[in-house]
Amino acid sequence: MNFKQLVLAVFSLVLVVLAHAQTKSQSNEMAWNKTLEEAKGQTVYFNAWGGSDTINDYISWAAQKVNERHGVTVVHVKTGAGDVVSRVLAEKTAGAKKGSVDLVWINGENFKAMKNNGLLLEPWTQLLPNYQYVDVENKTTTTSDFTVDVNNQEAPWGMAQLVFYYDSDLLKVAPSSMQEFLEVAKNNQGRLTYPALPNFHGTTFVKQALIELIDEPSVLTQPVDESKFLKQTKNLWMFLDQLHPNLWHEGNQFANDSSHMKQLVNNQEIFIGISFNPNDAANAVINGELAQSTRSYVHKKGSIGNTHFVAIPYNSNAVAGAKVFADFLMSPLAQARKQDINVWGDPTVLNMTKLTKNEQSLFESRVESQQLLKTQDLANVLLEPHSSWVEALEQEWIKRYSN
């Protein structure tokens, strides 16, 4: 083979590859057009927790938009993911052909359960046009949900990070670590608490404490070794043993969940609340649910972050419509509105650098709020421990503090 032939061969190879890529993106586009076509006229039952007005209002805005644009009707069914998991399981048990859930707001444990029991649709999110803007490179939790491989079976919707908020009228200085949290508890008897496990926020609080206190953080990325578990978590239990007598109800009772904590902070019964939405406090102040004197903070070492998603059950009746709605929820327009603290304040899953200038400008904040955290405060995202730690921690916590 002479040089000329070689160039020709390489050139034709490149052409073939390019042509293939071209047809692939073309076929993707065609497939998506087909999905849009199918979706027209479908009704999507979107099951999502309905306890917050701001979130409900946002969902109904998104539903209206997607109806205008693609002729898909979205009905917000206000039930939590736990109910959905239970219902889809009942449907599988009975062998019902038609499912009752088309799309569900989900993450973490519930996703793991649905995935492992084959209750989810085969991988689909890679086909959504807006998926390419998702920041899968830097926001690793968009592909690994509580360390469980997302496997394109749920579409990223929003980012979450554990943050604290406090009433600055009652507490002059916010703690910046779990050790300082303990100091604050000692100085303000009965004024701090966290949700009882197995509540999701309670478990996260304990995980956060574990990450901050453990001698060898590297073991957290591995599955739990039961023989070493107690030794590895020794610092955590020592910390909680010291903390509890200083807590609300002397640590005999805990808050029910983060909503309960927000009520208690609002009523000044306790001083510090927790949330998974860094902008929660800012939104609640606008909404009148928290006092103007509320401030947010995170611990110096950073805090646990994760992502929440939407997923389609295996027996959805409106797969195309559900995909179209999930795609819209990931669009720059919908993501920007969601991040606006006047609307919801839930951080975006998108990568700004992948967007056009115009799209980026949608995200510029128009509001000043004293409750907002600075970007650098939130920069230090801690990864969730391996998912097996959740159960081990919950069991041990219940054994020690809930008997």
Partner 1 sequence: MFGLLATVLPAFSYFPALNFNTFSFNAWFDLLQHPSFFSAFKLTVSTGFLSTSFSILFSFIIFYRYVYFKPSRFLNKILTPMLAIPHAAFAIAFILLLSPSGWLLKIIGQFVGWVIPPNIVTVNDSYALSLTLVLILKETPFLILMMMTQLPNIPVKSNRLITQSLGYSDFASFVYIMLPQLLKNIRLPIYAVLAFSLTVVDVAQIIGPNAPPTLGVLIHQWISNSDFTLRLQAASGAIFLLLLVVSFIVLFYVLEQCCIKLILLKSSASKRSIMFESVFAQLGKIIYFILLLSILVIVVLILWSVTFRWGFTDILPNSFSLKFWQKSQEALLLGLKNAFIFAMISTVLGLVLMVGALEFVNSKKTNRKYLPKTLMYLPLLLPQVSFLFGFNVFLLWFDFHYDWVAIIWAHSLFVMPYLYISLKSVFEKFDKRYTLQSYALNRGYFKTLFFIKLPMLKGSIYTAFALGFSVSVVQYLPTLYMGEGRIETITTQMVNMASGSDYRRIAIFALCQILLPLIIFIVASRKTRDA
In the complex, the residues that contact partner 1 under the rule CB under 8 A are: 45, 47, 49-53, 75, 77-80, 82-83, 85-87, 89-98, 100-101, 109-110, 112-114, 117, 170, 189-191, 196, 198, 249, 252-254, 256, 258-260, 262-264, 266-269, 287-289, 291, 391, 398-399, 401-403
Cβ proximity to partner 1: between 35 and 371 the closer is: 371
DSSP for 274-326, written as a single string: EES-TTHHHHHHHTTSS-TTEEEE--TT-EEEEEEEEE-BTT-S-HHHHHHHH
Q: Write the CA distances from 234 to 251, 303, 396, integer angstroms.
A: 19, 21, 11
Cβ proximity to partner 1: between 171 and 382 the closer is: 171
Q: Write the CA distances from 158 to 138, 307, 326, integer angstroms.
A: 14, 6, 12
Cβ proximity to partner 1: between 26 and 60 the closer is: 60
- Minimum CB distance to partner 1, residue 109 (Å): 4
In what helix (H) or strand (E) does residue 124 lie, and over which residues does it extend?
Answer: none
- Minimum CB distance to partner 1, residue 374 (Å): 25
Q: Is residue 198 reached through a cis peptide bond, with omega within 30 degrees of 0 on the bond before it?
A: yes
Cβ proximity to partner 1: between 133 and 254 the closer is: 254
Q: Write the CA distances from 64 to 68, 75, 200, integer angstroms.
A: 6, 10, 31
Nearest-angstrom CA–CA distance, 175 and 84: 38
Cβ-count burial of 10 within 10 angstroms (0-12 exposed, 13-18 middle, 19+ buried)? Answer: exposed
- Minimum CB distance to partner 1, residue 313 (Å): 12
The percent helix, strand, coil of the chain (3-state, each to 5) is 50, 15, 35
- Minimum CB distance to partner 1, residue 52 (Å): 5
Cβ proximity to partner 1: between 119 and 381 the closer is: 119
Cβ proximity to partner 1: between 98 and 357 the closer is: 98
Contact 327, 130 (CB under 8 A): yes
Cβ proximity to partner 1: between 79 and 351 the closer is: 79
Q: Using the 8-state DSSP alphabet, how is residue 46 labeled?
A: E
- Minimum CB distance to partner 1, residue 186 (Å): 14
- In 3-state terms, what secondary structure has residue 196? coil
Which amino acid, residue 73? T
- Minimum CB distance to partner 1, residue 75 (Å): 7
- Minimum CB distance to partner 1, residue 291 (Å): 7
Nearest-angstrom CA–CA distance, 346 and 158: 6
Q: Please give the structure tokens belonging to residue 66.
A: 């997607």
Cβ proximity to partner 1: between 36 and 163 the closer is: 163
The dihedrals phi and psi of 161, each to the nearest 5 degrees, come to -150, 135
In what helix (H) or strand (E) does residue 79 lie, and over which residues does it extend?
Answer: none
Cβ proximity to partner 1: between 135 and 269 the closer is: 269
Nearest-angstrom CA–CA distance, 265 and 175: 16
- Minimum CB distance to partner 1, residue 342 (Å): 15
Cβ proximity to partner 1: between 289 and 377 the closer is: 289
Contact 280, 371 (CB under 8 A): no
- Minimum CB distance to partner 1, residue 90 (Å): 5
